[in-house]
């Protein structure tokens, strides 16, 4: 019995000594100890334990870059990007030239649409010659979102010099040109993008819209039809843009396209007015009168439609009846009288 007691005491002290031996002896050892446990927990997907051990490790050695990088990577794995970026930023604040941390911080800030952070730390990367993939694009995009189009243009142009076939960059620079009302430059950029993306109907449609904005409707139709051939969804907006462009030089085609819109938007005043105006401009005054008067009949408050119906009659030789309609419209809306002194009312 005495021997058994002595044996138990010996085992107890042996276990205590072993346990003490397993405890880290200083902060660096403690950090390494918990870091190891964190990595093991992460590897076995025990994420709650892993996060707890990572935090412990950093408490003992907050300047340990290896721990912070692993901790950040852990947060990325579980898609906690804000927390991941906190770790990357902690590294960058002490070591602005750290390529991995700076790159990851910029990329995650871009992913989170934190444009000010992208710009700030992008400038740090440039100042320290830290190479970050597509940094000029990320800077350009950030300035674009910040509505600083001059700087956006500068960085995006630099990115195109590095990656001339990159669709994202070329397309965004095109949008910058649109915001700056440089439509020809925008068209040139979109055409450049199509060279390497010949089936991109969205770009073709964008070009069509830009030509429409410049009243170059034949070219607009060309690119709208290209987009249709490549498979763009021909929704109401697309059909209305296509039909309106056709009206300027091929009224029957324009009307045929816009009738598809009217099937789903019967009596749409805007579309009926566009068709009526097209006939008026083409000198087909009888048809123009019918359409303008139909618009007026659908809405007896539409004095402009009544005025145009009367003017169409006058142009078609029925001056007395047309003048009566115009006078009635002016009585409803006196400012229409100013149109009589203008060469064009459209």
pLDDT score, position 277: 93
Mean pLDDT lowest for which of 66-70, 110-114, 134-138, 232-236? 66-70
Mean pLDDT lowest for which of 17-26, 75-84, 228-237, 285-294? 17-26
Give the pLDDT band (50/70/90) at residue 341: low
What is the mean predicted confidence (pLDDT) over 305-333?
94
pTM exceeding 0.95: no
What is the mean predicted confidence (pLDDT) over 141-162?
97
Percent of the chain past pLDDT 70, that is, above it, reads 90
pLDDT score, position 43: 81
* Contacts for 315 with CB less than 8 Å, ≥ 6 apart: 280, 283, 285, 322
Alpha carbon 93 to its chain's center: 31
Looking at every residue in the chain, the average pLDDT score rounds to 88
Residue 25 has pLDDT above 80, yes or no: no
Selection from 7-11, 93-97, 304-308 with the highest mean pLDDT: 304-308
pLDDT score, position 252: 93
Residue 192: name the closest of 216, 211, 215, 173 by CA.
173
């Amino acid at each position: 019995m005495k021997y058994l007691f002595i044996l138990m005491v010996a085992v107890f002290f042996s276990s205590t000594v072993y346990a003490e031996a397993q405890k880290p002896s200083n902060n660096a050892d403690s950090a390494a100890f918990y870091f190891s446990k964190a990595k093991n927990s992460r590897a076995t997907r025990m994420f709650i334990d892993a996060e707890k051990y990572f935090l412990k490790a950093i408490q003992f050695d907050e300047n340990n870059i290896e721990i912070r990088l692993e901790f950040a990577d852990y947060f990325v794995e579980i898609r906690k990007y804000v927390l991941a970026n906190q770790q990357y930023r902690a590294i960058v604040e002490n070591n602005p030239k750290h390529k991995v941390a700076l790159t990851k911080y910029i990329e995650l800030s871009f992913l989170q649409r934190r444009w000010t952070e992208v710009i700030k730390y992008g400038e740090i990367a440039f100042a320290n010659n830290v190479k970050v993939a597509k940094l000029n694009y990320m800077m350009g995009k950030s300035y674009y979102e910040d509505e600083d189009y001059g700087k956006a243009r500068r960085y995006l142009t630099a990115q195109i010099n590095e990656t001339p076939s990159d669709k994202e960059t070329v397309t965004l620079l095109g949008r910058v040109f649109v915001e700056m009302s440089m439509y020809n430059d925008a068209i040139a950029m979109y055409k450049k993008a199509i060279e390497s993306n010949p089936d991109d109907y969205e770009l073709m449609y964008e070009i069509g819209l830009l030509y429409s904005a410049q009243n170059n409707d034949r070219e607009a139709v060309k690119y709208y039809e290209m987009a249709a051939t490549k498979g763009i969804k021909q929704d109401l907006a697309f059909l209305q843009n296509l039909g309106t462009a056709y009206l300027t030089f091929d009224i029957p085609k324009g009307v045929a396209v816009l009738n598809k819109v009217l099937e789903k938007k019967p009596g749409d005043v805007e579309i009926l007015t566009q068709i009526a105006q097209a006939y008026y401009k083409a000198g087909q005054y009888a048809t123009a009168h019918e359409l303008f008067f139909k618009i007026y009949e659908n809405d007896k408050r539409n004095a402009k439609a009544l005025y145009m119906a009367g003017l169409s009659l006058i142009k078609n030789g029925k001056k007395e009846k047309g003048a009566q309609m115009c006078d009635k419209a002016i009585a409803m809306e006196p400012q229409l009288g100013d149109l009589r002194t203008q060469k064009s009312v459209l």
